[in-house]
Amino acid sequence: MNKYLDVNPEVAAALASGKPVVALESTIISHGMPYPQNVQTALAVEDIIRKNGAVPATIAVIGGRLKAGLTPEEIEYFGKKGQAIAKASRRDLPVLCARGEDGATTVTTTMIIAHMAGIQVFATGGIGGVHRGAETTMDISADLEELAHTPVMVICAGAKSILDLGLTLEYLETHGVPVIGFGTEELPAFYTRTSGFRVDYRIDTPQDLAAAFRVQRELGFPGGMLVTNPIPEEFSMDPAVINAAIDQAIDECREKGIHGKATTPFLLARVAEITGGDSLASNIQLVFNNAALAARTASALVK
């Protein structure tokens, strides 16, 4: 056990007894939406995981400690402190731990801490990827590199549609990360079910997802697996509406000179404003959908 890691007693007991556990990130709490909606959503996601037969483990950094599993009080603390908490990528963990500070875990750091704790399945909204214009800015999310190196299954609604989805898929292919479509042959685009890009494989059941991931581990491959789960039809947004909002937000982002890890929070917040909150409502529903699939897949994996 890593000396900087604290595993919640419920999570530790589940892992020790071979019960399914699903990791969750904390950036969605601190940076994804306002208080108290962020806390309500985080607790609802945990409840969905429990109802689908698994134990939730929300991941965060609190007081320099890597936390695998938060209490409701800790989730409330994160929700109230909000964007005052630093987003923590791989490069940030050593300094945050050394200083005894807090950090909201991204996809990257949630994968790292989940793997340290022995958690194999992680549910999130959407992963980061290759940003538009990356051929000149080199703005590529650390999430992709982590997927290439850390053996965790990440279940999401595709890459965020603020990104260059084609280049994101090319990057994952180069690094040997399998991209699976759950019940679909087309990459979901976060707010919408379709993108025009094909995934590597279609898989239709949690049992088959678990089997593919189990074989990947038995082969000794070092990286993770990306499962893209389309947003439910009734919550999918009109592609023309959401793409117009994204284009407007990206133009404003460039005009303001925003770059690096500040880019995604700005774009998501601005898109929510432009769409009158519709994108945030869709975001919440796709996270619920991913959590349920992750719990069923984790249950199949331990069997």
List residues with catalytic annotation.
25, 160
> Rounded to an integer, what distance in angstroms lies between the CA atom of residue 128 and that of residue 286?
16
**Which strand (E) or helix (H) includes residue 92?**
none
Q: What strands, in cross-sheet order, belong to the sheet with 179-182?
A: 5-7, 65-68, 55-62, 21-24, 121-123, 153-156, 225-228, 179-182, 201-203
* Token pair in block for residue 34: 């306002």
Q: What is the DSSP letter of 4?
A: T
Q: Tally Cβ neighbours within 10 Å of residue 173.
A: 12
Asked if 135 and 163 count as a contact pair (C-beta separation under 8 A), the reply is: no
